[in-house]
Structure 1
Amino acid sequence: MVLASLSVLLLVCAATAEFNIVRHVSHAPRSLEPAVIPEAQFVVPITSTAPRRKSKKSNLESLRAFAAPNNTAVLEGADFDQEYLTEVTVGGQTFTAIVDTGSSDTWLINKDFKCFNLTGFPESTETCGFGSAGFDTNASSTFQSFPKVSFNISYGDGEFLSGGLGFDTVSVGGLTVTQQEIGVPDLAAWNGDGVNSGLIGLAYSGLTSAFNTTDPTKASSKNHIPYDPFFFTAVKQGAVSNPFFSLALNRGALVVNATEDLNLGFIAFGGMPPVDLDKTAVTVPVQGYSASTGEPSSTDAVFFYYTVDVDAYTFPGSTKVATSNNNTILDSGTTLNLVPTKVAKAYNAQFVPKATLDRDSGLYFVDCNATVPAFSVTLGGKVFPIDARDQILDAGTDDDGNTVCITGTQDGGADTPDNVFILGDVFLHNVVSTFNIQTNELTVTRRKKY
């Protein structure tokens, strides 16, 4: 079966790092009155998407090795809207980049990069599938190299990006920062989509991938050099009035053979995007961790992902299983909801006809015309339903050319202290999520039906 378009990415530091994040019940307040959020200063349309990177679900194991109208951009979509993209301009050169709240680095593939397959053998640059020839540092009058350090990201499936770091002027949707640290990898093993040339990471500095070594094999937590991601730099430089950004991801139309789907939402810097909202909203704390113990802390907290507690998942039969869990991240870089095994099993059994688990892929497959059971997520005491249209996804074709589908809510593993779960685009299509990096709070606002 063709499942490449379902894959999702978890960007983490080098596999040799020694951080250790432990799942916990947050000691912060469970819910707050929803914050009052103004219109955005910068609004960037999302105008295309591209295929997902290799499974963030399988790569979650890597996380367990770690402790450590203006101003709004339009987003785009391609290949069944598997990944949200927007334009980024660096040093006067413009590229299409992935928008990801589940990672922190801004990186662009370097011009004259070398491409490898997943076993380490050289390949043609076309094999890596980037959407451009790459970023030409020599053509940028504002680029400054960062010597004697390295940018290094590894993936559980063998993909990697490695190379140099530098500083340059970066613009997204009219929001411009100077001296932004970026990765400029020149070695890549990458299953690209032919559209994007890099990524804009919007999570915390603890997940950045700079190391005080020029040898990627020696990258570890001991020489990790955290730095300010793009939006954090914008706030520090006063380039944006308010210390929060909002994301409104539209679901795309599943058009067979379509390569682009326009107007898939917005990323809004400094306020709310121009979409219709419901009155249901809540502000909840982002979970932080002690830098020394990995336990919850209100005094020496280190933040990585936009992690929240889930009060409950509600669906037919949900009273028979424990559906509350914490350490759940809101991640625009993941297509699916990845929930505890018992929740996924119970929910997928409610489709008519029932969804069936494929042991080889670990995915629940379902009839593309199945009846979808209701499903909602409760955060901070507020209920956020997920539209039925988000719960059946086109999975390509099988060996006989027949269209196959999977469900939008999948098995994220056992509900154990060492696991992490994800509310991905399936959930995010139904809300506007606002990330406040100063107060470390997340406001979720229900969208009107569209």
Structure 2
Amino acid sequence: MLSSLRSHASLNNTAVLAGADLDQEYLSNITVGGQTFTAIVDTGSSDTWLVKKGFKCFNLTGTPESTETCGFGSDGFDTATSKTFKTLPNVSFNISYGDGEFLSGPVGFDTVSVGGLTVKQQELGTPDLAAWNGDGVNSGLLGLAYPGLTSVYNTTDPTKASSANHIAYDPFFFTAVKQNMVTNPFFSVALDRGTPSDDSDMTPNLGYVAFGGMAPVALDKTAATVPVQGYSATTGNPSNKNPVYFYYTVDVDAYVFSGSAKLNTSNSNTILDTGTTLNYLPTKVVKAYNAGFVPKATYDADQDLYFVGCNATAPAFSVTIAGKKFPIDARDQVLEAGTDDDGNVVCISGTQNGGADTPDNVFILGDVFLHNVVSTFNIKTNEMTVTRRAKY
């Protein structure tokens, strides 16, 4: 499959990504109804949404704040001036993210363009209530995961949203495939590691999302193609018997690092998520790995974070998928995380605690891993191909 994917490398329908928030967030321009914004590119969620002009801002506890507090990069999407926007009545958009951010509001259809790829009548959220820790650049999100993870509900009251009134719809790339706007039913992602010391709001040219083709970066020969792991519709646990698809979930054979042979590190519930900076892996894996930093990582229980010296030596770490090893560059395992009270730069490990290794827990291979591979997602065959990038 690797040679076939390479033949599709092209800049057609390819979004060039930019970095923000210490280059730990990946953004693309998105045009909706003739208005252009910057949006986070997220394979770990499915909705495309843009905050609506005139929105109300809240903090993460639900207390009203000034609109500036939410940190959006614009005044929002003006649905009234879009000539192609159509409201979807009697429904609502309601989504919450793992860090406590939440958004809710109306839903509609409009023409959406990303990286030269345009689809018509794309369903999207236009939230007018937002609790958002923005970077001053993005105004929304481009979700690329499965329809089962979308966030529209058959109620006009977002607080009454539930699985019982969920209305799944086709995310952006699924719509593009149905409208025959792409040659192939897959997209690929290449994320470049950034330069955290760069204090600009946005860093250009930090990767690609190629719709219907392969991201145009240099590759190694190592590649693995695996099925997307589905979930049971009744239990919600990983299952390939009449599966329901939500995330791009990969079956990990092992995490390999010094001392890992003493552990069972395989896991079948790990997602590839461009919208998450860090790796969040099983507690036993993370504890053993972080003990190998020189000097050793320090665990802060209050923050549930492993801190490391910014000049620490990170131990080697590889992810084994379908029998192939995909190393993570040591540069990706030490991340700047702001400054302390004295103004000193503080760093954390790129591999953090994702909790107990239980079937109902979802683990994440985030940008720390994705910097080192090109990930290709085929929504027709429900397969993923992970290809090692040439060293850069």
State if a TM-score over 0.5 links the two structures.
yes
For 2:320, which of 378, 381, 384 is the aligned residue? Answer: 378
Tell me the CA shift for residue 218 of structure 1: 1.0
Segments of structure 2 that go 5 or more residues without pairing to the other structure are none
Q: 1: distance between equivalents of 2:239 and 2:129? A: 38
Q: 2: distance between equivalents of 1:189 and 1:253? A: 28
Residue number in structure 2 paired with 1:284: 226
Residue number in structure 1 paired with 2:4: 36
Q: 1: distance between equivalents of 2:209 and 2:380? A: 18
Kept after mapping to 1: 8 A contact 2:230/2:244? yes
Residue number in structure 2 paired with 1:414: 356
Residue number in structure 2 paired with 1:333: 275
Residue number in structure 2 paired with 1:187: 129
Tell me the CA shift for residue 187 of structure 1: 1.1
Amino acid at match of 2:74: S
Residue number in structure 2 paired with 1:304: 246
Q: Does 1:216 align with 2:158?
A: yes
Give the alignment of 1:50-65 within 5 angstroms: none
Give the alignment of 1:109-124 within 5 angstroms: 109-124=51-66
User: Aligned in 2, Cα 1:157/1:286: closer, same or farther, shift over 3 Å?
Assistant: closer
Give the alignment of 1:30-179 within 5 angstroms: 36-40=4-8, 69-155=11-97, 158-179=100-121
Segments of structure 1 that go 5 or more residues without pairing to the other structure are 1-32, 44-68
Tell me the CA shift for residue 293 of structure 1: 4.4
Tell me the CA shift for residue 156 of structure 1: 5.8
Residue number in structure 1 paired with 2:265: 323
Which moves more between the two structures, 154-163 or 179-188? 154-163
Amino acid at match of 2:328: I
Q: 2: distance between equivalents of 1:233 and 1:157? A: 28
SS of corresponding position for 2:313: coil
Give the alignment of 1:354-369 within 5 angstroms: 354-369=296-311
User: Aligned in 2, Cα 1:242/1:38: closer, same or farther, shift over 3 Å?
Assistant: farther
Residue number in structure 2 paired with 1:245: 187
Q: Give a deviation string over 1:79-108, Cα, whole Å, max 9, x none.
A: 311210000000000000000000000000
SS of corresponding position for 2:293: coil
For 1:399, which of 328, 341, 345 is the aligned residue? Answer: 341
Kept after mapping to 1: 8 A contact 2:253/2:323? yes
Q: 2: distance between equivalents of 1:157 and 1:269? A: 28
Q: Give a deviation string over 1:150-194, Cα, whole Å, max 9, x none.
A: 001134665321110000000001100001000001111222111
User: Aligned in 2, Cα 1:439/1:369: closer, same or farther, shift over 3 Å?
Assistant: same
Q: 2: distance between equivalents of 1:297 and 1:318? A: 26
Tell me the CA shift for residue 297 of structure 1: 5.2
SS of corresponding position for 1:319: helix
Q: Does 1:204 align with 2:146?
A: yes
Q: 1: distance between equivalents of 2:257 and 2:100? A: 37
User: Aligned in 2, Cα 1:440/1:311: closer, same or farther, shift over 3 Å?
Assistant: same
Kept after mapping to 2: 8 A contact 1:39/1:273? no
Kept after mapping to 1: 8 A contact 2:229/2:240? no
Q: 1: distance between equivalents of 2:194 and 2:99? A: 28
SS of corresponding position for 1:259: coil
SS of corresponding position for 1:225: coil
Kept after mapping to 2: 8 A contact 1:40/1:72? no
SS of corresponding position for 2:145: coil
Aligned residues: 392
Tell me the CA shift for residue 239 of structure 1: 0.3
Q: 2: distance between equivalents of 1:250 and 1:191? A: 23
User: Aligned in 2, Cα 1:293/1:77: closer, same or farther, shift over 3 Å?
Assistant: closer
Q: Does 1:259 align with 2:201?
A: yes
Q: Give a deviation string over 1:177-220, Cα, whole Å, max 9, x none.
A: 00100000111122211110000000000110000000111111
Kept after mapping to 1: 8 A contact 2:271/2:364? yes
SS of corresponding position for 2:201: coil
Percent sequence identity over aligned pairs: 76
Q: 2: distance between equivalents of 1:246 and 1:280? A: 16
Q: 1: distance between equivalents of 2:19 and 2:209? A: 14
Amino acid at match of 1:412: G
Kept after mapping to 1: 8 A contact 2:44/2:272? yes
Please, what TM-score do these two structures have when normalized by structure 2? 0.96
What's the RMSD between the two structures over aligned residues?
1.6
User: Aligned in 2, Cα 1:71/1:418: closer, same or farther, shift over 3 Å?
Assistant: same
Amino acid at match of 2:305: L
Q: Which has the higher contact order (CA 8 A, sep 6+)?
A: 1
Q: Give a deviation string over 1:331-373, Cα, whole Å, max 9, x none.
A: 0011111111111111111111111111111111111111121
User: Aligned in 2, Cα 1:107/1:405: closer, same or farther, shift over 3 Å?
Assistant: same
User: Aligned in 2, Cα 1:150/1:241: closer, same or farther, shift over 3 Å?
Assistant: same
Kept after mapping to 2: 8 A contact 1:35/1:283? no
SS of corresponding position for 2:5: coil
Tell me the CA shift for residue 247 of structure 1: 0.1
Amino acid at match of 1:94: T
Q: Give a deviation string over 1:27-82, Cα, whole Å, max 9, x none.
A: xxxxxx657215558x6xxxxxxxxxxxxxxxxxxxxxxxxx11111000123112
Q: 1: distance between equivalents of 2:70 and 2:355? A: 30
